[in-house]
């Protein structure tokens, strides 16, 4: 059913509501608020040179993460929100946006320290000039999940 709009009010409506100038490209989907990645224990591919793609960043952090030994599956999860500078260094201080505890307090502390150590060990990331310009100031979400078998 078509809506009836008085002539004087018709000029107040945006063009797309009047059906004028509408193309399939006008309504693009929104971009994600951050670049997301999940990091689980396991073998990782070590990148030998400079990082040139977004996926290389997650692989590099994964390669630097050393989950605590001897605890087995604890079910813990930590999500960090991090931004990087053009040179691959961490911008500001990483922020924990989610934490799911598991196990006893010794396991929790060891898990948290292993995540912090991964960033200390890996940063500044060896990014190319092109990737550095693309990631500068953009938020990244790293979700560390302890899914090791017992």
Class of domain 34-145 as given by CATH = alpha beta
What is the reported pLDDT for 110? 84
Distance CA 118, CA 140 (A): 15
Domain ranges of the chain: 34-145
Torsion of CA 116, 119, 121, 123, to 10 degrees: -150
pLDDT of 30: 47
Q: How far apart are CA 112 and CA 108, in angstroms?
A: 6
∠ CA(96), CA(59), CA(81), 5° rounding?
15
Query: What are the pLDDT tens digits along the chain (150 aa)?
Result: 455 545 555 555 455 444 555 444 444 444 456 677 777 776 656 556 888 888 899 899 888 888 887 656 677 888 889 999 999 999 988 888 888 887 677 778 888 888 888 888 888 999 999 999 999 989 999 998 887 654
């Amino acid at each position: 059913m078509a809506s009836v709009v008085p002539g004087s009010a018709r000029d107040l409506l945006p063009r797309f509501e009047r059906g004028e100038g509408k193309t399939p490209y006008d309504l693009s989907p929104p971009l994600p608020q951050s670049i997301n990645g999940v990091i689980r224990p396991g073998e990782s591919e070590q990148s030998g040179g400079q990082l040139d793609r977004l996926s290389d960043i997650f692989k590099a952090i994964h390669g630097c993460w050393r989950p605590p030994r001897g605890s087995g599956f604890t079910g813990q999860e930590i999500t960090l929100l991090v931004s990087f500078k053009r040179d691959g260094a961490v911008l500001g201080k990483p922020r924990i946006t989610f934490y799911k505890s598991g196990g006893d307090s010794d396991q929790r502390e060891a898990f948290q320290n292993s995540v912090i150590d991964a960033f200390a060990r890996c940063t500044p990331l060896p990014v190319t000039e092109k990737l550095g310009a693309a990631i500068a100031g953009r938020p990244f979400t790293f979700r560390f999940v302890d899914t090791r078998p017992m």
